[in-house]
Structure 1
Amino acid sequence: MAAPLLLQDLYIYPVKSLGGIRVTQAEIEPRGLRHDRRWLLVDERNQFMTQRQTPDMALLRVSPAYNGFLLTHAQRPDLLPLYVPFEATPERTLFVTIWDDMVFAWRGTRAADEWVSEALGRPCKLVYMSDMARRDVEPDLNPEGQLVSFADGYPFLLIGQSALDELNGRLAEPVPMDRFRPNLVFSGGAPFEEDTWAEFQVGDVPFRAVRACGRCVLTTIDQQSAEKSAAGEPLRTLATYRTQGSKVMFGQNVTGPGRGLLRVGDTLQVLNLK
């Protein structure tokens, strides 16, 4: 008898492209998990920043704090931890660009802007997406009119632990799951089984698997040291068996119900296949 599919891990990333926080339960909101990627770093032109262009962002660590989180620099003990609340206030506003979207955002404090600018050695700002802002999932794949935070394009990313195990069996040096920045990790099932799912539920919460997630150079950055793999791994190995068109696929982009509660250990049930 096959092992049941279980929700193994839950992650939120309060600031896009910075470290994640593993949680044991998470509330679902219209844009994804509560507090997930509601903050964003932007440059002096108000363009979004990620590890793709700024690998040192991996050195900015995120840890939970009361009603917010702490930012620390892994290699700069002289930088005192920065407390950031989960939500900002509308005292200072601006428009920021993320991919093809222009989004209305609230700015964090001046102290926060100074801290992240010092930490990354360049002028940048910390901004927040309020519930007033609207950013839609890809219209042609979004009949439900789902919203998304500052995540790349979808409110949830789902990956099976067996997919990572299968990949690591092909690599000279295994990589951890943090290279792929999932929200939901499940155990059980065959490698890449999630590719075949159309609708599934976690506990009593329904989800829709929309499409596979195309991966980028960020997966080659060690999240502890911020160093890029000289060999381009694991992207190079993934490309040998997970290429569709011009993209390398790993994980599923998922939309959800806009409300609900997830807990580590919840059972996953596949409702329909693609």
Structure 2
Amino acid sequence: MAPPQFGTIEEIWRYPVSSLGGERLTSVELGTDGIEGDRSWCVADAQSGHPAAPEKEARWKPALFLHSRSGRDRPEIGFPDGEWLRVGERDTDAKLTLYFGFEVETRPYVATGDAQTAVNRYEVSPVHLVTTNSLRHLSTIVGTDDIDSRRFRPNVVLRTPAAEGFEEKSWLGSRMQMGEATIHICEEAKRCGMTLIAQPGLPENPDVLRSLLRQNKRNFGIYGDVEISGKLTLGDPVEIVTG
């Protein structure tokens, strides 16, 4: 079990379009459903309607080289050429189709106007956390200088002091005060092939997933339910309030 106050908020992320790169934030409101706008849209196969699955289908791996950010009323997708286009527009879908080499369109997970919706491939947890200590520990196991948090697509990275192993598993069932919000740590995060896929500045690295499979039952990080909503800001203290 972690001591009552044991860390601070190091990074905050939102991923407006699932399977694409996200946006790094300095502060955000965390509601009972998570960070507003997080994973609210997807890129999907226009014929089947199935959302992108880079960890399962090689044709979707280029998704990791696209970025997403919140727009005025809809998310925007950033392309390698520097252009940003709004989701739900024909021009955006046309450029995505050219980029992937097959017919692609953007879809929301919740009905928005006349846009066709997509069905999420998995149950989304309100908040996903990883720690700097576990990233360091995994780097040691893999034998690399640094494992980037972007491989795991967390909402929050906690800066924690050095500890043995993957410390988060000892927090299961605890309540955590994080900034102004209170969350209940409910389960470990099971990892998939997304962790090894190349993305900007990160080469493909199968040893990441292999190491987690051998050393931690394929888990890395934790999921939490939000019991009390509140603002999160970089540098906010994090503490365990109940076990």
TM-score, scaled to structure 1: 0.73
Q: 1:1-274 residue pairs with structure 2 within 5 A? A: 4-43=6-45, 44-52=47-55, 53=57, 54-63=60-69, 69-74=75-80, 77=81, 81-84=83-86, 108-130=88-110, 152-173=123-144, 174-189=146-161, 190=163, 191-197=165-171, 198-224=174-200, 228-229=204-205, 232-243=206-217, 248-257=218-227, 259-273=229-243
Q: Is the 8 A contact 2:182 2:228 kept in 1?
A: no
Q: Which amino acid aligns with 1:28?
A: L
Whole-angstrom CA distance in 1 between matches of 2:150 and 2:170: 23
Aligned residues with identical type, % of pairs = 23
Judging changes above 3 Å, is the alpha-carbon distance between structure 1 residues 17 and 115 closer, same or farther for their aligned structure 2 residues?
Answer: same
Kindly state the Cα deviation for residue 260 of structure 1 after the two structures are TM-superposed.
2.0
Q: Point out where structure 1 has 5 or more consecutive residues left out of the alignment.
A: 86-107, 133-148
SS in structure 2 of the partner of residue 170 of structure 1: helix
Aligned alpha-carbon RMSD (Å) = 2.5
Extract unaligned runs of 5+ from structure 2: 113-119
Compute the displacement of 1:256 (Å).
0.8
- Partner Cα distance (1:266, 1:254) in 2: 18
Alpha-carbon contact 1:200-1:207 (below 8 Å) kept: yes
**Aligned 8 A contact 1:57 1:226 in 2:** no
Kindly indicate whether the alpha-carbon contact (under 8 Å) linking 1:209 and 1:252 is maintained by their aligned counterparts in 2.
Answer: yes
- Evaluate the alpha carbon distance shift between residue 255 and residue 42 of structure 1 in structure 2; reply closer, same or farther with a 3 A threshold: same
**Distance apart, 1:112 and its partner CA:** 2.2
CA contact (8 A) 2:16 2:70 kept: no
Matched with 1:103 is none
Could you list the structure 1 runs, at least 4 aligned residues long, displaced by more than 6 angstroms after superposition.
none
Higher helix share: 2
Classify 1:83/1:259 alpha carbon distance in 2 versus 1 (closer, same or farther; 3 Å).
Answer: farther
Residues in 1 aligned to 2:121 and 2:236: alpha-carbon distance in whole angstroms: 26
| CA deviation after TM superposition for structure 1 residue 255, in Å | 1.3
Q: Deviations over 1:226-267 (max 9, x none)?
A: 8643xx221112222101xxxx00000111137321111111
Q: 1:222 to 1:120 in 2, by over 3 A?
A: same
- Give deviations 1:98-125, integer Å, cap 9, x for gaps: xxxxxxxxxx122222122122111121
Between the aligned partners of 1:15 and 1:214, the Cα distance in structure 2 is 21
Distance 2:10 2:24 in 1: 11
Aligned residue-pair number: 224
Q: In 1, Cα distance between the equivalents of 2:156 and 2:200?
A: 21
